[in-house]
Amino acid sequence: MEAIQIADKIWSLSQRIGDMQKKIIPLAESRAATEADYDIAMKTATLKRLDEGKAVGIVKEIAKGDCAEQLMFKRQAELRYSGLMKTFEIDGQRLSALQSLLRRFDEVVS
């Protein structure tokens, strides 16, 4: 692999990382918003079931069923965020490896 090819790969990977950085904030905000929505829905459903006179021991389980859609949205947001963060970390490691390779290549050529 030539230095120019390594530099090109570093450049394209840097661009990809930059694009991912722009997506992190909206995904983090979405993750937080869906978590808050789920928490509010759970508290509301729990109080509703308690007001209906349901047994305390099963109220949370019933409330989870009432909030299944919010839980699904919360989990989807968590998976999108964590998936992007894992990809971000992997690409960061790749970038570091390419930079090390380029430094070694420069040392050999010098």
In tens, the pLDDT along 39-60 reads 999 999 999 999 999 888 899 8
On the question of pLDDT at 1 being above 80, the answer is: no
pTM: 0.78
Q: Which runs of consecutive H residues, i.e. helices, occur in the chain?
A: 3-51, 56-66, 68-109
Cα–Cα distance for residue pair 22/90, rounded to 1 Å: 17
Domain boundary assignment for the chain: 3-109
Q: In the 8-state DSSP scheme, what is residue 52?
A: T
